[in-house]
Structure 1
C-alpha cells in the first residue's frame, strides 16, 4: 500500500515538474532574445511581501532559491532592510541558474527594488514615484536622501536628478498587495496609478497578490470583493493580477538543503503571471511633447497675428 502511495506521489510530482518546465518555456518564447530587456519597478507597502516576491520570481526562473532582495525588517523594529534603490540585472540573478548559458540568451528584465512606501497620495509621494519611473534616480541612491531633496527642493528636482543614459527608465510597474491583510493601501495605489500615466510616458501597471496561502478571510465572497477592490484601485484587468505564494521561512524548510529543489506549484503561478506581465505586445506609450509644444507655439503666433490685424483694422476704420 505504501508503495502504491509513493508511486502516486512521484507521478504527481513528475507532472508538476513537467508543467513548471512548460511554463518556463512559454515565458522564454514570450520574452524572446532580440529586444532590449524591460525594467520593472516593484512597489508596495512595508510587509506586503515585496522583497520575498522578488526572490520568488528569481527562484522560479533559475530553479534555485537565493536571497537577493533582503525580506522583512530588522528584528521586527520596522527598519527596512532595503533602504536604497536596488537593481537586479539578469547578469546578477541568472549566474547561479542551472541552465545559465541558455537563459542568458533571453531578455529577462532588470528588477528595481526599494523599501516599502507609506500609504500616501500627497505631492512628495508622487514626485518620488515620478523620479523613479522616469529613470532620474541613479542606482544605489539612498531613499532617505531622495525624500529629503524632495522636501527641500520641490520643483528644482529635475536639476538635481537629470536624465542620464546610465539610469533606468521603468517599463513595467508591479504593485504588490498581501492577501493576509484586509486593509488596502488605497492612497498609495492611487498615487502609483496616477504617476504611471503622468509625464511623457504611460507605463503599464500590474498587480501581484502575495500570501494567498494565508488569506485574511475564509469567506469566498469577502475574498472576491477584496480582489475586485485591488483591480478597481489599480485600474487593471483580472488577467493582470498575479496571485501567488512566496518562498518564505515556512516552505523553505520543506526544500532539501542539499538539492535546493524548488516547489513547482509556487513556480508555476509566478511563471504564468510573468508571461502576461512581460508580454512585448504591451508597450509603454511615449507622448510626443515636442510636437504638441510646436502646435501650441504655432497657435499663439496665429492668435497674435489675428489680434494685430484687428488692431490695425480698427485704427484705419
Structure 2
C-alpha cells in the first residue's frame, strides 16, 4: 500500500513497486557502484573523444602545413632567382576586398603570421576608402626570411577603388597606372582633379613628364562574389590592357567565398559573367576567402594568433600562375602616350614629379636579367684590372 502522508511527493507518478523498493532498500551499495561505474565510463569516453578530436585536428593541421610547403616549393620553382620581379596591380571597385586580398597574398608569401601591411576598411560612416594613395609592396616589405630574398617575389601595387565606369577619365587613369607614371604614394584623385579642371590633354601632359616607375606586368582584377561584377570597369581594364599596343596579362579574383554557396545557380551565373567579361580561363581565376574579421568570427580563431593555411594554399597556387614568366607582355618597352591610338602629347608646361627625373635615354627599353647584370659587372672588373696592370707596369 502506498504511503498517503504529506511527505510522499507526487506519489501517483513516482511510486515504486514492492520489488523495486526491496531492491532499493536491500542493495544501496550495488546502485551506487553501478552509478559510479557508469560515470567512470562516461569520463573515459569523453577523454577518448577529446584525444580523437585533438589527433584529427593535429592531423589536419599537419596535412595543411605539408600542402602549404608543397605549394610554396612550386611557387619558388616558378619565380626562380633569374629575370626580374613583376609589378602586379590590384584593380577593382571600392569595397571588393583589394587590400584584404593584398594582405592575404603577403601572408601566404611570408613565414610569420598575418600583418596588416595594407590598411583595410572604410571610415567616417560614408564609405570613405582607407586606401587613398598608390601603395607599392616590394618583397623587402613583406618577406620575413632572408632565405627567400633571392627569389623574384612580386611587387604588389594597391590603390583606391575605381568607379564602375569606362569613360575617358577612367581609361586614362588606368593607362597612367599601367605605364607606371603615377608616382608612389600619390592619389588617383589628384589625377582626376587635373582632368576635371584642365581636361584630358593637360592630364596626359602632366603624367608624360613623370619618370616611368612601377610599370605594370600583371593585372589582378578583384571583385566580390556577393555583388554583381562591375562590368563597365571590367570593359575599361580589358580595353586598356588588351585593346592597345602594350598587352598585359589579366587575372581575376572573386573574394568573399565564405559568404556564398559556390554551387548555387546565382553564384554560378555571376562567376560566368565575371570570367567572360575579363576573358579568363580557369587557370587565371580564383575564388577565395581573405584573412578578415568575418572569417575569424566564423571559425573562432584569430588571424592575429595563428595562420590560416586553408586560405594560404589556394592563394599560393594562384600566384604561381600569376608569376609565370610564360605569360609575355607584348611591346613591353612601349612608353606611356606613344602608341598608334594615342600619340604622345606635346609638352608645353613643366611638371614637378615626386620621382627622380629621367636622364637622357633613361626610359627602360629592356629589363636586364640577373645574368646580364653579372656579365656587366665582370666586364667592369676586367676593365679596372687592365687599367691597374697598365698603371703599375
TM-score grouping bracket, smaller chain normalisation: 0.7 to 0.9
Name 1:59's counterpart in structure 2. Answer: 107
Q: Write the mapping of 1:160-309 to structure 2, written as runs, cut at 5 A.
A: 160-162=206-208, 167-181=213-227, 183-215=228-260, 220-252=264-296, 254-255=301-302, 257=304, 260-286=305-331
- List runs of 5+ in structure 2 lacking aligned partners: 1-47, 341-393
The CA deviation string for residues 130-156 of structure 1, in whole angstroms up to 9 with x for no partner, is 111011111111221111112323123
Please report the TM-score for the alignment, with normalisation by the length of structure 2. 0.68
The CA deviation string for residues 210-258 of structure 1, in whole angstroms up to 9 with x for no partner, is 110112x57623322211110100111121111211000133461374x
The CA distance in 1 between the partners of 2:125 and 2:319, in whole Å, is 31
Which deviates more from structure 2 when the two are superposed, residues 120-129 or residues 193-202? 193-202
Relative to structure 1, is the Cα distance of residues 76 and 117 closer, same or farther in structure 2, using a 3 angstrom cutoff?
A: same
The CA distance in 1 between the partners of 2:179 and 2:269, in whole Å, is 33
The CA distance in 2 between the partners of 1:30 and 1:69, in whole Å, is 25
Contact 1:255-1:263 at 8 Å conserved across structures = no
- 1:6 alignment partner, one of 54, 60, 78: 54
The CA distance in 2 between the partners of 1:268 and 1:284, in whole Å, is 27
Contact 2:181-2:212 at 8 Å conserved across structures = no
CA RMSD of aligned residues (A): 2.1
Contact 1:175-1:208 at 8 Å conserved across structures = yes
Q: Write the mapping of 1:135-154 to structure 2, written as runs, cut at 5 A.
A: 135-151=180-196, 152-154=198-200
Matched, 1:103 2:152: no
Shift of 1:205: 0.5
Shift of 1:274: 0.5
- 1:37 alignment partner, one of 65, 85, 102: 85
- List runs of 5+ in structure 1 lacking aligned partners: 294-317
Matched, 1:24 2:72: yes
Contact 2:246-2:334 at 8 Å conserved across structures = no
Greater C-alpha radius of gyration: 2
- 1:131 alignment partner, one of 158, 168, 176: 176
- 1:81 alignment partner, one of 130, 133, 145: 130
- 3-state SS of the aligned residue for 1:274? helix
- 3-state SS of the aligned residue for 1:161? helix
The CA distance in 2 between the partners of 1:241 and 1:256, in whole Å, is 25
* Structure with more contact order per residue of length (Cα contacts < 8 Å, sep ≥ 6): 1
The CA distance in 1 between the partners of 2:289 and 2:326, in whole Å, is 27
Name 1:158's counterpart in structure 2. Answer: 204
Number of residue pairs matched?
A: 284
